[in-house]
Structure 1
Amino acid sequence: MKIYENMLLRYNEGKVVRILYENRKTSIIYVIDLDANRMPYPQKREMLVTHLKTQEVSVEDERGYNRVILEEELSESEKLKRDHAWEMIMFLIRTVENEELIYLSKYRERAIKEVCQVFKVSYNTVKNYLIRYWKGGKIRNSLLPNYFNCGGRGKERKVSGKKRGRPRLRDVHQGINVDDHIKKMFKIGLNRYYYNERNNSLKTTYELILKDFFTTEQVTQNGVTIPILPKSSELPTYHQFLYWYKKFNNLQREVSSRKGTRVYHQNYRSIIGDSTQDAGMGPATLWQIDSTVFDMYCVSSFNRDLIVGKPTLFLTIDVYSRLIVGINITFESLNSYTGAMVALANSMLPKKEFCAKYGIDIAEEDWPVACVPKRILADRGELNGKQIENAIQHLGISIQNSPPYRADYKGIIEASFHQLNLKVKPFVDGAVINGKNQSERGQSDYRLKASLTVEELYRIVIKCVLFHNNYHVLSHYIVDEMMLEDEVEKIPVKIWEHGLQNKIGQLRTLPEEVIITHLFPSDQAKITPKGVLFRKMLYASEYALKSGWFQIARIKGSSTVKICYDPRDLKHIYVFEENGLQKLALLDHLLIFSNKGLEEIEQIKKYEQEVDMKSKEKELQEKMKLFKDIEQIVKDGRQKTDVERDDSKSKSKKIKGIKENQRVERLLQRQKAMNVQQDVNLVDSDMVLGEESEDELALFRQMQALDWEDRDE
């Protein structure tokens, strides 16, 4: 039975514990009780395994213990409290030499007291933060205050005539409340005087705000115009200004705007260590991610006559074992946020279903990676940005960025790109020749030889990755003494397995919906009566039908909903709901877009538009001919009618006889149909039909006369 960090176990009596850490050498596992406010305690691995086998303990589902949280829905107060608590916890963890020591009271007490001294907080504050951090799965959002359990979530106190806050001690005047209008003045003043390179102090900024917005009149003394302020009881105080400044302020913005973005990235951003530091602790300690443009051209899967260019390959690799843990092939630009996020999601999710999409059947041990790393190293492209930092740090992952123009900082992954190109280029068509995009005079254009689609390239790359992970010998890998004693083969998967058994590093798992929420790109979709509309495609699910989404949309009109999606395959999208992510599937009549990526679907739609445009040109031309034919038929009919029209009949008589004329016309058409059927086998059918056409008027008049006679009788 495999035991992972963050796994939840439920005892038969109802107690639920979370696994925090395992020492594989001593077989001691530290767990924390989710229903009690107490510190972690040790358990023997053998005892837990025995309880699992005898079903005294069962694996608990993560749902219900971690709510899906969207960053933009959090208030500034929640973010400030969370980030402040996160600083304390990270400081506390860094004060101990080994992670296991923090679970021992002797070392933990010493570290907590040091945090109390540095951050000027009480012992119980640090203790409660630490317990919440462990119970929540060691991620930053576990430190969020539980405002969602309180009334009036996200709402500020209403402004009334009564002054809010503590009464003043030295002034009989109670002052004013800060309403929305004054808050707007504070924001404008901060942007104007504080967030710039002048480096004005907050006190000066406050005074300049008073000058700009709170002067009542100007009085001339000795020819000088002087702004006059009202009484202090009618002005916001400096402490009120400071209160709202702390609510509005963003530390990254403050440093960047006052000292420059470069200074922020150099001196204030959280980057610790070099590219291989701590990688020796074991698997999933440090991953590297990078991207490169593939040296080959691809064709479209829906029309192989269309050349779609060179795709971008994203790789994620485990530094300790050199195991390739995730891939992504896309037509996104180099260093794309979306491309990097999808590659990381692929690294953290199981691979069996992913490989099956491309017709490759594997066992779990062939690609045994579905975990969350401790740290990720990237260059200044993929993971450089506030949005990306937030997404990854919410998963409890630290980010390192290598300096610009220093590919040697990621030599491991650069070597993997080189190995992949060596394996693929000799066999594929449309490969770049000699590393040049331009062919020499007399040479054929290699781009015209392109023959592989992205799906086929995926199959090739997956097979290359499986070969690398399971069979490639790392000749230059430096093994330690234990690996030499155990005769470990220098193959990535063997090193990975040995590290899991013998190294301090261990695997940490998170629910799939948490990974998808933070790493997959998000967008807005529309709920319509026909389904959930996204990128001109419709989706539905059993949950959506039971919840009556589409009936509500038909009655009350369409509404928008936030979704996330895998850009490699838009067969499914995920909708954010209060009880978690809901998976929606393409409707059956749109399965032509199944297993196709975002770029390819856009190509298909663009191609359809081009075909439709050509067809519409032809349609318009044929419509002109149709109009001409209709005009000619109407003209002929009008001329014949004018010749045979009897103007001696009155209008009322003509109108009165319409019903009878219709009955006679029906009998005539039946008779004509019978005559045509009888004369099909005649030799001179044209002559017979011609004679009949001459007698049509006479036949009509005879039947009309008979009909009138029958009616008179």
Structure 2
Amino acid sequence: MKFMENMLFKYGDGKVIRILHINRVSSIIYVIDMASNRWAYPLKMDELRHFQEQSDIILMEEDIYCRIVIEEDLSDAEKRKREHAWGIVKYILDNVETEEHLYLSKYREPAIKEAMQMFKLSYNGVKNLLIRYWHGAQTKDSLIPSYHRCGAKRRDRISGNHKRGRPRSGERGIGINVDDKMKKIFKQALNRYYYSERNNSLKITYELMLRDAFVKDEVEQNGVKLPVLMDKSQLPTYQQFLYWYKKLNNPKKEISKRKGTRVYQQNYRTIIGDSTQDAGGACGSLWQIDSNVFDIYLISSMNRDLIVGRPILHVVIDVYSRLIMGFNVSFESLNSYSGAMVALANSMTSKKKFASKYGVSIEDEEWPYCVPLRVMADRGELVGKQIENAIQGLGITIQNTPPYHADYKGIIESAFSVMNSRVKPFADGVVIKGKGSKERGEADYRLKANLSIEDFITIIIKCVLFHNNHHVLTDYVLDDLMIEEGIEKIPIQIWNHGLKHRKGKLRILPEEMILSHLYPIDQASVTARGVLYKKILYASDYTLKNEWFQKARIYGSWKVNICYDPRDLTCIYVMDEGEQGVLKLTLLDHLMKYANKGIEEIEQMAKHEQKVDEKSKERELQVKVKLFTEIEHIVENAKRKTDSEREYDKSKTQRLAGIKENQRNERLLHRTSESKRTSIVEMPTAYTEEPEEVTDDLSIFFNNDGDYDEE
């Protein structure tokens, strides 16, 4: 591993050091302990490398000691103190011959003494500034005073007996503290009088609150009871009410209640960005997403004799490099939210597994992925409350173009045209000349369709790989550095150049986190047979270990929130399952016929099975009617025979007596008849002797007591 300045390393005991300077000639590295006020000290490069190889120290990926500040947010005092401190540090840096001398006391001490005399500071004052400078990655902003750590910011102070805040001036009494009870009164007043269509001002809301909650008595005047307020020293001031309004107020609630939800959705929603096409000069800074009905008719993957219509293609393109980041093919509606979300999820995760499902082997270098900063859409699938979850969870800003301005997304609009032009010359079932109907005598191109959605996705993957790795962007304007390095106008080369010379490494997030935010969300049922979704059952080691299905059998089923990939229902993901986060469930073994199939295919399979079942049930009904008639005929014959042989002079008691004995006799008779039938069937054809006569007289099988004689 190559050591770099400002790297942070952590020991096993929690100690953290920062690399300040590397002398590659002498192989000496100067480091500083981030938890102490000790001067920087030297380490041998081999010693540090040995510690790392033995895992005694680990590299810290995130620098938690660097303070990130916005210049406009700094106060004048902070800027002034920073400049003063930087002047002292810069004076010391200028008074040592080399940077390494700053870490050697015999060179550093004279420079510090000069700074002490120059700026009238103590030795510890200068030392503290240098150590702050080193701790903060040797940046100017590390010398900003740590005012942000002072006080109890964003924490409510405990209400005690003494009045908090500044004292009153020229007013009677010292005032009152705002405790939890008082805050509850403030909230009730805001909900009742301020968050309403009447648009009362805060001042009116405050005064109405005093009338409702701070009355000590009532006086009657002209038959009307008038409230008398408490003493002024016992009332909260308007400044206190205003302070807590600012802390308790929800801007979304305020605008929605006072101006209406529609106004908030149109003018104040945080997800609405400007409609610029500025890519920020870096990879992953701005993506464009759009959907289009592809000019081809597809057939069913289940029954290739069925024509299923034209697919919807969602494509995501990186504006800076023109790289196609991902796509989705579905039969959803044109501006489908789920279709767009699956395309974004495909763009933000590795495509190796996805491509391998369609027989295409790739590496991540051929088809990169990342999480973007901004995504530009056209007021279709990415307008609505559903996208807010992705924005908040993944830190993405959505920009929407104005209506009727497809030119704002010219990059992706042209990509659809190019994609169609590459498929049309070879595929059957393509739309001819953009027409939706045929002329007289013209063959119907829809009848020529022979590609399933899997075949079509494989073609699109091949087209994307060609575009990313070989397509020449004729109209792309290379900058001077690209020309100097011999960069070709090929998306992958522009992408790699941008990673090297533009904005560092890209944002990468865990795949489960991306899927849980972008995949369509639904509910599944935990049943005794498995987790049921779309009439398909799922399970996992976690669900079996935690006895989900046993509990469902005992206590009844319950609902769980899931997200899923509409293209492949082999797995679903249960969300918010305690510490597990996103829990992956897979199909049960006996339902693997649904593996690697999308939701549209599974619905087609269900419809096909339903049609087959309907035909079978029609035949079943016909045969069942015949069965009913035959049973009824047998019952009628039996009834007629029984009526002819029944002795009607017997009482009910006489008929019911001896049922068990009658059953035994009937059993013996049945055995005799079965034995007789069997002996006749098994008799050899060459047997010529007369068979022994079989009597029907059952008395020979019973002894004198009426019991069965086995002999």
TM-score normalised by L of structure 1: 0.70
Match of 2:671 among 643, 667, 671: 667
One-letter identity of the residue aligned with 1:702: D
Q: Which residue of structure 2 lines up, in the alignment, with residue 431 of structure 1?
A: 430
Deviations 1:423-456 (A, max 9, x none): 1123333322222323334434433433322222
Verify the 8 A CA contact 1:522 1:563 in the aligned structure 2. Answer: yes
Separation in 1, partners of 2:501, 2:283:
10
Q: Flag the 1:372–1:164 CA change in 2: closer, same or farther, 3 A.
A: same
Report the identity percentage: 46
1:410 partner amino acid: K
Contact 1:317 1:325 in 2 (8 A): yes
Distance apart, 1:105 and its partner CA? 5.5
Instruction: Give deviations 1:93-130, integer Å, cap 9, x for gaps.
Output: 9x9xxxxxx986645358x78xx9xxxxx43379x99x
Question: How far off is 1:573 after superposition?
Answer: 1.2
Inter-partner Cα distance in structure 2 for 1:248 and 1:708: 103
Structure 1 residues 108 and 454: alpha-carbon distance in aligned structure 2, compared to 1, 3 A threshold: farther
* 1:124 paired residue among 136, 146, 149: 149
Correspondence list, 1:305-704, <5 A:
305-367=305-367, 369-575=368-574, 576-577=576-577, 578-645=579-646, 650-651=654-655, 654-678=658-682, 701-703=696-698
Query: Matched residue of 2:537: which SS?
Result: strand
Whole-angstrom CA distance in 1 between matches of 2:642 and 2:413: 87
CA contact (8 A) 2:220 2:226 kept: no
- Residues 323 and 552 (structure 1 numbering): CA distance in 2 closer, same or farther, change over 3 Å? same
The Cα offsets for residues 168-187 of structure 1, whole Å up to 9 and x where unpaired, read as 96579999937989967753
Provide the rounded CA distance (Å) in 2 between the counterparts of 1:52 and 1:358: 46
Task: Find 1:108's aligned residue among 133, 136, 141.
Answer: 141
CA distance in 1, matches of 2:189, 2:378: 40
Which is further off, 206-215 or 295-304? Answer: 206-215
| CA–CA separation in structure 1 for the residues paired with 2:603 and 2:59 | 42
SS of match in other structure, 1:434: helix
Cα distance change, pair 216–337 in 1 and its aligned pair in 2 (3 A): farther
Give the 3 Å change call, closer, same or farther, for CA 103–216 of structure 1 in structure 2: closer
SS at match of 1:657: helix
Q: Deviations over 1:608-642 (max 9, x none)?
A: 33443444444334333222221111111222233
Tell me the CA shift for residue 644 of structure 1: 3.9
Tell me the distance in 2 between the aligned counterparts of 1:531 and 1:17: 49
- Is contact 1:380-1:404 (8 Å) kept? yes
Unaligned runs of 5+ in 2: 19-31, 80-134, 165-172
Evaluate the alpha carbon distance shift between residue 175 and residue 2 of structure 1 in structure 2; reply closer, same or farther with a 3 A threshold: closer
Q: 1:373 to 1:538 in 2, by over 3 A?
A: same
1:187 alignment partner, one of 168, 172, 191: 191
Q: Structure 2 counterpart of 1:513, which letter? A: E
Distance change >3 Å, CA 220–CA 600, structure 1 → 2? farther
| 1:289–1:377 CA contact under 8 A, matched in 2 | yes
Partner in structure 1 of residue 87 of structure 2: none
AA paired with 1:547? N
**Quick check: 2:291–2:312 contact (8 Å CA) kept in 1?**
yes
What is the CA distance between 1:540 and its match in structure 2?
0.7
Question: Contact 1:175 / 1:235 at 8 angstroms: preserved in 2?
Answer: no
Change (3 A) 1:653 1:402: closer
Q: What is the SS of the residue equivalent to 2:438?
A: coil
Residues 706 and 61 of structure 1: is their aligned pair in 2 closer, same or farther, counting only changes over 3 Å? farther
Query: How many residue pairs are counted as aligned between the two chains?
Result: 603
Amino acid across the alignment from 1:423: R
Q: RCO greater where, 1 or 2, for CA within 8 Å and sep 6 or more?
A: 1
1:324-382 Cα distance to aligned partner (Å, 9 max, x none): 11111122222322222211111111110011122222233322x13222322222223
Structure 1 position 560, deviation (Å): 2.4
Q: Structure 1 residues 620, 664: CA separation in 2 closer, same or farther (over 3 Å shift)?
A: same
How many angstroms apart in 2 are the aligned matches of 1:170 and 1:350?
65
Task: Give yes or no for contact 2:338–2:520 (8 Å, CA) kept in 1.
Answer: yes
TM-superposed CA distance for 1:212, in Å, is 9.7
Q: Does 1:292 align with 2:292?
A: yes
8 Å contact 1:216–1:227 — kept in the other structure? Answer: no
Amino acid at match of 1:437: G
| d(CA) in 2 for partners of 1:251, 1:574 | 31
1:210-221 to structure 2, matched below 5 A, reads none
Residue matched to 1:136: none
Asked if 1 retains the 8 angstrom alpha-carbon contact of 2:15 and 2:35, the reply is no
Distance 1:571 1:336 in 2: 22
How far apart in 2 are the matches of 1:406 and 1:623?
64
Letter in 2 for 1:593: Y
Matches within 5 A, 1:130-145: none
Aligned residues of 1:279 and 1:319 also touching (Cα < 8 A) = no
Equivalent residues in 2 for 1:226-305, closer than 5 Å:
228-229=226-227, 243=244, 247=248, 249-251=250-252, 254=255, 258=259, 269=270, 275-280=276-281, 282-305=282-305
Find the counterpart in structure 2 of residue 25 from structure 1: none
Instruction: Give the alignment of 1:40-119 within 5 angstroms.
Output: 54=53, 56=55, 106-108=139-141
Cα deviation, residue 487, structure 1: 1.8
Q: State the superposition RMSD in angstroms.
A: 5.1
Deviations 1:127-161 (A, max 9, x none): x99xxxxxxxxxxxxxxx9x9xxxxxxxx9xxxxx
Contact 2:189 2:206 in 1 (8 A): no
* SS at 1:364 equivalent: coil
Q: Secondary structure at the match of 2:437?
A: coil
AA aligned opposite 1:711 = D
The answer to whether the 8 Å contact 1:217/1:227 transfers is no
Name stretches of at least 5 consecutive residues in structure 1 with no aligned partner.
20-32, 66-85, 96-101, 117-121, 130-144, 148-155, 157-162, 683-691, 693-697
Q: Which has the larger radius of gyration?
A: 2
- Contact conserved, 1:291 with 1:314, CA < 8 A, in 2? yes
Which residue in 2 is equivalent to 1:71?
none
2:707 aligned residue: 711
Mapped to 2, the partners of 1:508 and 1:51 lie a distance apart of 31
Q: Which is worse superposed, 444-453 or 512-521?
A: 444-453
Residue 100 of structure 2: aligned partner: none
Q: TM-score, normalised by structure 2?
A: 0.70
Q: Name the CA distance, whole Å, in 1 between partners of 2:380 and 2:36.
A: 43
| Displacement after TM superposition at 1:470 (Å) | 1.3
Distance, in Å, in 1 between the alignment partners of 2:435 and 2:685 is: 75
- Amino acid of the structure 1 residue aligned with 2:670: R
Cα distance, 1:48–1:409 mapped onto 2, change above 3 Å: farther
Q: Alpha-carbon deviation of 1:257?
A: 5.6
C-alpha separation between the residues in 1 aligned to 2:466 and 2:47?
Answer: 36
Question: CA–CA distance in 2 between the matches of 1:414 and 1:573?
Answer: 33
Counterpart code for 2:637: D
The superposition leaves residues 479-536 of structure 1 with CA deviations (integer Å, 9 ceiling, x where unpaired) of: 1222222222221112222222233343221112221222222222222222122222
Residue 57 of structure 1: how far off its partner (Å): 8.2
